[in-house]
Amino acid sequence: MGELLKTRFATTYRREALFGIGAGFGSVALTSLLSAADSKPESHHRARANRCIFLMMEGGPSHIDTFDPKPELTKRHLQQFTRQGDMESAMSSGKRYFVKSPFEFVKAGESGADICTEWQHLRHHVDDLCFFRGAQVDSVNHPTACFQLNTGNQFGGDPAIGSWVTYGLGTSNENLPGFVVLPRTSYPQGGPGNWSNGFLPARFQGTPLRAAGSPILDLSPPPGVTEDRQRANLDLLAMLNRQHLSDRPGRTDLEARMSSYELAFRMQAEVPGVLDLEGEQQSTLDAYGIGDAKTDSFGRKCLLARRLIEKGVRFVQAYAGNWDSHDYIQRAHGSLIRSVDKPIAALLADLKQRGLLEDTLVVWCGEFGRTPDNGMRGGGQSYGRDHNAKAMAMWFAGGGCNAGHTVGATDEIGMQATEDVHHIRDVHVTLLHLLGLDDNKLTYYHAGRFKQLSQFGGKVIDKLIA
């Protein structure tokens, strides 16, 4: 503990010292040094992955209907019961019925992984996946669960995973943001707080690319504005900003804004080429499902994620949804699976073919799982599932994960994780570990204490690591 505190205070002192000497050589040099101090790669141990693609299935995909089959529910299908104790949830009123999965399951690959037959493409890649059935969260409400999954804090306001990763590892391409978000047309519950920098310097916040229209507004300069003229305007603005900042040392929001102007200028040259998918071969576009109305949207996100990490972006998060299937689960989940199945399979194959999967960590999950029951609404085939914080499915690929294995288990009806049970903070700690970061060392001094992604510590889930 003593050595850990020495390391933390040394890091804090190094950054604070830069404020003290900054006046001696000008604010531009100060801003540059501060950026280097907070974005210099600081791996704590050998990294298994250098970057991460996080596939966020917003709304809570059902583990019971994707990767965790429950034959017992077939026996109990439509059996009425009353919820008790831990089976209470936000929507537990009224008559409750156990609900079997409307989908068939197969054991795929050499690993014999359980997978719903709706995954017609992903099933061919299960030997590259490590399934985890033991994760739990604290909330059954979408906004708080999304915040906890993305930031470690149910109430928001803290840095997102991608912010912590870029804070710890820095960027490998100064012309692109280190943390890019590919949201749905409508933002997830909780909005931009899901990719906030929180108390970290503002430059570590996620940069969302718009789902429709121009991915980034005003990316191109106005007609008639040449590069030289724009450079001259930025130089004048930088001079005025330096004067303003000289009287306000330590204002990271001002420093970040100054840096953002320069980054935006560099992005005008770099980003259009990255975002233009038309240069891809038609066979690649077809593999990702681009051009097919069902798969086009997520296919573009997956292909763009691959292009972004190739160009040096450290963390890309792509959203798909809405998986909140309280009724008509066969129709709703079936449609959602088909919309992401082909793109995800293509992404894994593409990364592997290019030699990128080995050091790229891919994560698939939602904010929680779903219950084995729900009240029938309208009769017939209208039943669905409720929210479930005590059991959820996720998987990892590449980046040192224990491919070809399934870790953890839930009870016979899928209500609660029972083997290798871990809170989401342990998942966060494991994700950082694979990226070469120690959650206990990746800290930031704020509001009188050192803060970290896990909030107050967690442990690496060794079984998830090869």
User: What is the mean predicted confidence (pLDDT) over 204-218?
Assistant: 73
**pLDDT in the model for residue 325:** 92
Digit-coded pLDDT (tens) for 412-455: 999 999 999 999 999 999 999 999 999 999 999 999 999 999 99
**pLDDT in the model for residue 268:** 57
Residue 448's Cβ-count burial label (10 Å; 0-12, 13-18, 19+) is exposed
**pLDDT in the model for residue 243:** 73
Instruction: Identify the band that residue 39 occupies on the pLDDT scale cut at 50, 70 and 90.
Output: very low
Digit-coded pLDDT (tens) for 143-178: 999 999 999 999 989 999 999 999 999 988 888 889
Dist CA 197 CA 230 (whole Å) = 29
Rg of the chain over Cα atoms, rounded to whole angstroms, equals 23
Dist CA 230 CA 226 (whole Å) = 6
**pTM for the predicted model, two decimal places:** 0.83
User: What is the mean predicted confidence (pLDDT) over 63-85?
Assistant: 89
Most confident of 26-35, 132-141, 320-329: 132-141
**pLDDT in the model for residue 361:** 98
**pLDDT in the model for residue 417:** 98
Average pLDDT, the chain: 84
Q: Which residues contact 21 (CB under 8 A, 6 or more apart)?
A: none
- What are the tokens at 218? 């005003």
- Domain at 44-218+271-464, CATH class: alpha beta
For the chain, what are the domain ranges? 44-218+271-464
Dist CA 450 CA 439 (whole Å) = 11
Instruction: Identify the band that residue 12 occupies on the pLDDT scale cut at 50, 70 and 90.
Output: very low
**Residue 460 phi, psi (nearest 5):** -70, 135
Asked whether the predicted pLDDT for residue 38 surpasses 60, the reply is no
Q: Does residue 460 or residue 84 have the better pLDDT?
A: 460
Dist CA 184 CA 124 (whole Å) = 27
Q: Which residues contact 387 (CB under 8 A, 6 or more apart)?
A: 60, 89, 90, 91, 140, 141, 142, 145, 368, 370, 371
**pLDDT in the model for residue 186:** 81
Instruction: Identify the band that residue 113 occupies on the pLDDT scale cut at 50, 70 and 90.
Output: very high
**Residue 245 phi, psi (nearest 5):** -70, -30
Digit-coded pLDDT (tens) for 318-346: 999 899 998 889 999 999 999 999 999 99
